[in-house]
């Protein structure tokens, strides 16, 4: 049986992969996005499957427009990925709050009004502060002390979800990824490793703008987790759940070595610079695997290999977007 899913922010990286996986299995993804450029979706989806996707231009900061779209399409679930990334929230905190916090409230109101089964939304590892040396990886019960506007807004959204469950029995799941990588990741604080893969394919030098270690979440796995949470209730039952996502915890220097090993022509062209990320280097992601068994777990080598290969295919076809690379 085919189902309809409404995906906000679907023209972003994770959203494009959510749309890809929904369409490929025969469901109907409805893209609700303010942007008019579906290039990230086209980068991962063939033309025939792309035709299954429905596009609605809209802004989650417009509550009435959001309600109309949800009511019109009656989705089984909403996968809410729209939001401004760390640099944009820092540059304009008021706009960041309007989009990330008020927009999320509008999504929950629309879901409640239309009788949607559940909302699955993107939270972030940014809800935590910087990790201390030697400290255990934070779990879902660890203290949240965000050090960015973006992290504060994501933490507020978790509270919004909890109140909608408390007051209205609106089930939800929030997922906290850390460093998502893969085709389509071309903006945000942690996009540097993916940009380095693109630079390697193009034969250009690139410096990843942070150092230290971090959890790397392959975007295909991350998208599959959002869909799994939209499809069914957790083993622990309905509620306002929040889950950390744990990936491959490695140093940025190891990522560079892995790219160079898989694409030897890039040897010596990639580097790292800057501070460590203002979030823990890894998260305890065991809870989601207890509540949602059989989630995918792509190895770091396989994820990088696919990303390099797909960038190469796009380059050969003259379709590789290089706007995230410095000029020169």
What is 157-191 written as a DSSP string?
HHHHHHHHHHHH---EEEEE--EEESTT--SSTT-
211 within a domain of the structure (yes/no): no
CA atoms within 13 A of residue 152's CA, in its CB half-sphere: 10
Closest to 177 measured CA to CA, from 11, 309, 18, 307? 18
Residue 166 lies in a domain: yes
In a domain, 302, yes or no: no
Per DSSP, the three-state class of 33 is strand
Q: What are phi and psi of 314, to 5 degrees?
A: -65, -40
Helix (H, G, I), strand (E, B) or coil at 76: coil
pLDDT at 326: 82
CA separation for the pair 273, 265 (Å, rounded): 21
Would 324 be classed as within a structural domain? no
| Pairing relationship of beta strands 213-218 and 248-251 according to DSSP bridges | antiparallel
* 3-state DSSP helix/strand/coil % of the chain, to nearest 5: 45, 15, 40
Return the structure tokens found at 109: 């109101």
- Residue 144 CA: distances (Å) to CA of 124, 125, 126, 131, 163: 11, 9, 9, 11, 18
Are 123 and 154 contacting, i.e. CB atoms less than 8 angstroms apart? Answer: yes
> What is the pLDDT at residue 132?
72
Do the domain assignments include residue 42?
yes
What does the pLDDT profile of the chain (328 residues) look like in tens digits?
799 999 999 999 999 999 999 999 999 999 999 977 899 999 999 999 999 999 999 999 999 999 999 999 999 999 999 999 999 999 999 999 999 999 999 999 999 999 999 999 999 999 998 877 668 899 999 999 999 999 999 999 999 999 999 999 999 999 999 999 999 999 988 999 999 999 999 999 999 999 999 999 999 999 999 999 999 999 999 999 999 999 999 999 999 999 999 999 999 999 999 999 999 999 999 999 999 999 999 999 999 999 999 999 999 999 999 999 987 5
Write the CATH number for 230: 3.40.50.720
CA distance 261 to 62: 47
Instruction: Please give the backbone phi and psi of residue 180, each rounded to the nearest 5 degrees, phi first.
Output: -80, 135
What pLDDT was estimated at residue 328? 57
Whether residue 151 lies inside any domain: the answer is yes
Number of domains comprising the chain: 1
Closest listed residue to residue 4, CA positions, set 29, 33, 32, 22: 29
Q: Please tell me the distance from the alpha carbon of residue 71 to that of residue 270, in angstroms, as a whole number.
A: 48
Q: How far apart are CA 107 and CA 101, in angstroms?
A: 10
pLDDT of residue 130: 87
Residue 93 lies in a domain: yes
Q: The tokens 């993916």 sit on which residue?
A: 194
Torsion of CA 74, 293, 235, 245, to 10 degrees: -80
pLDDT for the residue numbered 153: 98
Token readout for 139 is 């779990």
**What domain range is 38 assigned to?**
4-180+219-246+279-297
Question: So what's the pLDDT on residue 133?
Answer: 66
The per-residue pLDDT for 327 is 73
Task: Flag whether 317 is in a domain.
Answer: no
Looking at residue 134, what is its pLDDT? Answer: 67
């Amino acid at each position: 049986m085919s189902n309809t899913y409404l995906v906000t922010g679907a023209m972003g990286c994770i959203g494009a992969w959510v749309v890809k996986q929904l369409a490929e299995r025969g469901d109907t993804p409805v893209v609700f996005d303010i942007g008019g450029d579906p290039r990230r979706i086209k980068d991962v989806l063939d033309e025939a499957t792309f035709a299954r996707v429905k596009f609605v231009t809209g802004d989650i900061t417009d509550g009435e427009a959001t309600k109309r779209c949800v009511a019109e399409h009656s989705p089984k679930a909403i996968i809410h990925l729209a939001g401004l990334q760390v640099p944009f929230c820092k540059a304009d905190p008021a706009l960041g709050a309007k989009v990330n916090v008020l927009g999320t409230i509008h999504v929950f109101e629309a879901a409640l009004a239309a009788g949607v089964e559940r909302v699955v939304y993107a939270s972030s590892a940014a809800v935590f502060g910087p990790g201390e040396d030697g400290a255990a990886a934070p779990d879902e019960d660890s203290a949240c002390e965000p050090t960015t506007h973006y992290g504060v807004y994501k933490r507020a959204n978790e509270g919004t979800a909890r109140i909608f469950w408390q007051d209205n029995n609106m089930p939800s799941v929030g997922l906290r990824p850390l460093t998502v990588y893969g085709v389509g990741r071309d903006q945000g604080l942690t996009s540097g490793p993916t940009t380095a893969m693109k630079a390697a394919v193009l034969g250009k030098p690139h410096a990843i703008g942070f150092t230290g270690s971090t959890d790397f979440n392959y975007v295909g796995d991350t998208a599959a987790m959002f869909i799994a949470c939209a499809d069914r209730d957790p083993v622990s039952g309905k509620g306002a759940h929040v889950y950390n996502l744990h990936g491959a915890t490695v140093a940025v220097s190891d990522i560079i070595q892995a790219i160079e090993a898989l694409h030897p022509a890039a040897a010596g062209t990639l580097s790292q610079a800057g501070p460590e990320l203002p979030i823990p280097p890894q998260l305890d992601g065991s809870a989601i695997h207890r509540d949602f068994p059989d989630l995918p777990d792509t190895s770091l080598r396989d994820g990088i290999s696919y990303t390099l290969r797909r960038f190469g295919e796009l380059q050969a076809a003259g379709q590789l977007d290089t706007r995230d690379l410095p000029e020169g």
